[in-house]
Structure 1
Amino acid sequence: MRRAALIAVVLATCCACGAGPSIRPDVAVEGHTGGTPGSSDTSQATPPPVPAPAVPTSDLPWRDCSGTSLADAALAAASTGVIVECAEFSAPIDTSGRIDGTFTAAATRARTSATPADAYPIVFTSGTDRSSGSTLAMLSATGLTAVLAAHPVVALDRRGIDRSTPIECMEPDTRRGLADLGQFEPSFSGDAADAVATLGHDATISCTDYLDPQELEFGADAAADDINALRTRWGVDTIALWAAGSGSDIALSYAATYPDNIARLILDSPAPIATDATTEEESRVQGQEAALTAFATRCAALSCSLGPDPRAAVVALTERARAGEFRPLSAASITRAISASLAIASQNRQLDTTSLADALSALGTGNPVPMRERAAAAEKALASDGQFVGRCTDGVQWPGVGRIRELQQTWGKSYPVFGNEAALGLSACASWPTTAPTPLPTALKPTVLVLSGQADPAVGNTGLATVTGVVTNAGARFASLDWQGSGHPAMQSACVQQAAVSYLDNQSLPANGNVCPA
């Protein structure tokens, strides 16, 4: 049996996504209303509380993460008193029974020696932003203190990413070309949009051939089925679900497909829901630019090595990168590394700021090694073949090359550091087959806690209005809590964690529209 027998995707190889009418369902857009969480109608009856999930009756065979892709992050988490453990289990390829067989799903658990043994676990998913396991390990290393004092957290990697039967479906040259967004392609002749579209087409053929012909979706709905397989393995009726970034698609799909099996729902820094790929990407690039501005403000206050105007210095460096001055480091590699560096902070924000500033300054003065190391780490975390498959499967209305060229011009001016590469990246999925839209819930039993951040380089913050619209349409009460800090996700804030624990334990929601300081 070919490797593809373990993993597959819904394919329609004759069809590719392009601009056109949206195939996503309409959603209401809910803003901050104040007063009663999730509603401007203060007379709304409060629904009865949903019972908390139970402790698993049949747990996974946990072990330490030595020898896995999480080993370094687990070691760093251990220095803060966090225990990071790994496990795998078999999940069905297709829950409908149309396709036989199973694949290996990978889980990562974070806890401390003091985490109550009788506390129910929180299931965590970060979608395709980066692997759920590595995100959890990084958050644990940088401070997930309040949450882990109350509950263990179990991250489930999306299929095809990291340890969940990873996909390696591209030719090495194609993978390298996409990572660099075509900048150093032999055929590159000034039209990067064409180069990336060609690379994306080659990647699509290679990956769909590798996965052919099992017709398994790698979308958010399949990831939701994997979460339910974990719930079933645990032998519990309901779970608590914490989703970050593009994991919000998975969480809402789970709530739609398994409405009786969810007891707590936290949507943390959600990506926009039911929007086209261009709108979703612009939200992300806005968040990247906002995070860079926050970094530049800190950098200037610390008299960092980038000089009196750190933002202008970074703009100048990216312009030099686009001119090929730092080859083999591409502009895409450098901007990806900057964005990744701004996402999750350590407990020493000052050190994070000066370290990134020093790496950028070294690049500008002829020493590329520090940025090369950051670029390699970011590419490993954010640009795997499985993430390509997942992102392309989830997205809709990928723009054509002509629209990409227009976006390069407009975004390049509006978002000078990240805009050009953000526009080019949309070309990569233009040939990917169209798949069905992710289902959205029509009824939600639990109340919902929605978190957002002011400067989120992973997804931006425009997703807040779309997810609260979905929650409102589903008849659930919610409260939004805004973290005024910079990074992704918002749960890295101690203030946010305290609100989350209160919600998890007794469904107590903060006042809608409350803020947590940076």
Structure 2
Amino acid sequence: MHRRRLVRALSTSTVVVSALLAGCAPLLAANPRYATDSGARPQGQPAPEPKADGPPAVESPKNDLSWRNCTSQIFSESAVDPLPGVILDCASYDADLDPIAGATGSVSIGVVRARSVQTPENAGPLVMTTGSDLPTSVQLPVWLSRAGADVLKSNPIVAIDRRGMGMSSPIDCRDMFDRQEMLEQAQFQSGDDPVANLSAITQTATTNCTDTIAPGDSAYDNAHAAEDIERLRDLWDVPALALLGIGNGAQVALAYAGSHPDKVARLVLDSPLPVGIGAEAATEQRVKGEQAALDAFAAQCAASDCPLGPDPKAAVDALLADARAGNGPGGASVATVADAITTALAYPRGDRTAATNSLASALAAARSGDVNQLNNLINQADTLRQTDGQFVNTCSDALNRPTPDRVRELVVAWPKVYPQFGAVGALSMVQCLNWPSGSAPKEPQDLKIPVLLMGVQNDPIVGNEGVSQVAATIINAGTSSKRVIWQGIGHGASIYSECALAPMIGYLDSGNVPETDTYCPA
């Protein structure tokens, strides 16, 4: 058996490490508010009190779900220590399988509510979604362990998992061989056409998965995820919702604003992409973000005299080159190594210096023949981001997909521009080439509330171009927005920057965005 099969058998530690680094905030308005992490509050005047004719209040549910305490379970599954005074409750509800096209049946949607001893009894909830990037129920405890618990002083948080993922009814539709080959991008198959090799695997996986979810094979896209949120609002019997969408969750929140513009009381779009972005454009933005995050990590690593030596980027490049040539650590493919690095950069744990050194240590050890730490990261990336539910949802959202011949062109072209992640990024588009084609959700129109946009300078999941693109969508929707830009490394400014969280809390409280854009250093 090839050595690469040993990768999945090694430790499944759930520690994710990364680094944060300063950069330059893009596209800020004139005279932005400069902020620091001191006290987790930006400098400047506090947000004004809401006017009587201002944004609607965030109301408490009139009819609530049947909650059960799941504090220990959720914190444990996220590898986060429970927080004193923070209570997590779990519930589920049934949503129509396809309220858009009318297919009969239902799906179970899982939600997790966070409260603290400080949360007002009758406060309305903030509904949080990370979409298909990773289960929201997994990211919620991480957020709470950093600065997210500050939100609980004024509002409970309800994390909603996308259908087929996390606390929602999971999807199990690929066999072990197909899953492994897709993780490795069929690198170890014979032949000189990786696109054809991987396409044959994904064709089988697509057939199996569409058969499994039938008759809902067109019911797992952003638009249907938005309708699952509307079902929750209807069950609660509240007039409007406060929404926080991060990454793909921001696309879901935008889709909700497009289909239910009068049901939105607050709209925070963190690390967004446009709802109608094509697969090639979205993938290239992600690859750019991966390269930017690696550059920022390497600079921070060198500055802290990390275990990768004086040229950390060259060391990482050598590791990836070895994997690309079939000599990866422990037999790992280049795709699994690249995905492990990306995931570690996107979802950091701990402070910046410690996280930088931890990732550097894992990579340095792998280069020396000790693959245990790297295998922990590979398995973590697999668990967080490569489930069958994510495959189904991600492909359901992939629009205007390139042809196989176009992917072949990009497999050659992108590595010249994006040396570390270009080829893996181009091949990643093959997994959705056989999936049934979908259509973009309706963009929002006639929004009555201002929108808070947030972004990260070095985001390895979506890149950093989406904020400006979505800002144009908000203008076309007839309302205004302000931006909060964090210059660190990670996916979700509100998750990983206390400074960036402060304007969001003010917006949730008053319904008014800050008077100017906010710049947050790493």
TM-score of Structure 1 vs Structure 2, range by shorter chain: 0.7 to 0.9
Counterpart check, 1:379 vs 2:382: yes
Instruction: State the Cα distance separating 1:376 from its structure 2 match.
Output: 0.6
- Among 55, 62, 75, which residue is 1:57 paired with? 62
State the TM-score, normalizing by the size of structure 1: 0.88
- Among 106, 120, 126, which residue is 1:122 paired with? 126
Distance of 2:280 and 2:84 partners within structure 1: 40
Counterpart check, 1:242 vs 2:241: no
Q: Which residue of 1 aligns with 2:224?
A: 222
- Among 271, 289, 292, which residue is 2:291 paired with? 289
Instruction: State the Cα distance separating 1:191 from its structure 2 match.
Output: 2.2
Distance of 1:80 and 1:283 partners within structure 2: 39
Distance of 1:272 and 1:417 partners within structure 2: 26
- Among 161, 175, 183, which residue is 2:187 paired with? 183
* Number of equivalences: 478
Q: Which residue of 2 aligns with 1:489?
A: 492
Mark the CA change 1:512 to 1:405 in structure 2 (over 3 Å): closer, same or farther. farther
> What's the secondary structure of 2:271's corresponding residue?
strand
- Among 265, 268, 272, which residue is 1:266 paired with? 268
* Cα shift readout 1:453-482 (whole Å, capped 9, x = no counterpart): 100111111111221111110101111111
Distance of 1:305 and 1:214 partners within structure 2: 49
Of stretches 391-400 and 260-269 in structure 1, the one that deviates more from structure 2 is 391-400
Mark the CA change 1:455 to 1:260 in structure 2 (over 3 Å): closer, same or farther. same
Q: Which residue of 1 aligns with 2:211?
A: 209
Distance of 2:311 and 2:101 partners within structure 1: 59
Distance of 1:496 and 1:243 partners within structure 2: 15
Distance of 1:97 and 1:283 partners within structure 2: 31
Mark the CA change 1:295 to 1:73 in structure 2 (over 3 Å): closer, same or farther. farther
Distance of 1:127 and 1:66 partners within structure 2: 22
Query: Superposition pairs for residues 77-92 of structure 1, below 5 Å?
Result: 77-79=81-83, 82-92=86-96
Instruction: State the Cα distance separating 1:112 from its structure 2 match.
Output: 2.4
Q: Which residue of 1 aligns with 2:117?
A: 113
Q: Which residue of 1 aligns with 2:162?
A: 158
Query: Which structure 2 segments of 5+ residues have no match?
Result: 1-25, 34-50
Distance of 1:226 and 1:143 partners within structure 2: 27
Mark the CA change 1:121 to 1:66 in structure 2 (over 3 Å): closer, same or farther. closer
Query: Which structure 1 segments of 5+ residues have no match?
Result: 1-29, 38-45
CA contact (8 A) 2:294 2:313 kept: yes
Query: Superposition pairs for residues 324-403 of structure 1, below 5 Å?
Result: 324-326=326-328, 327-403=330-406
Instruction: State the Cα distance separating 1:372 from its structure 2 match.
Output: 0.7
Distance of 2:255 and 2:361 partners within structure 1: 42
> What's the secondary structure of 1:270's corresponding residue?
coil
Query: What letter matches 2:162 in structure 1?
Result: R
Counterpart check, 1:94 vs 2:75: no
Query: Superposition pairs for residues 138-153 of structure 1, below 5 Å?
Result: 138-153=142-157
Q: Which residue of 2 aligns with 1:438?
A: 441
Query: What letter matches 1:219 in structure 2?
Result: D
Distance of 1:173 and 1:144 partners within structure 2: 39
Counterpart check, 1:414 vs 2:414: no
> What's the secondary structure of 1:151's corresponding residue?
coil
Distance of 1:66 and 1:273 partners within structure 2: 34
CA contact (8 A) 2:272 2:462 kept: yes
CA contact (8 A) 2:290 2:463 kept: yes
Counterpart check, 1:168 vs 2:169: no
CA contact (8 A) 1:454 1:485 kept: yes
Distance of 2:294 and 2:220 partners within structure 1: 32
Distance of 2:343 and 2:462 partners within structure 1: 12
Q: Which residue of 1 aligns with 2:45?
A: none
State the TM-score, normalizing by the size of structure 2: 0.87
Query: What letter matches 1:260 in structure 2?
Result: D
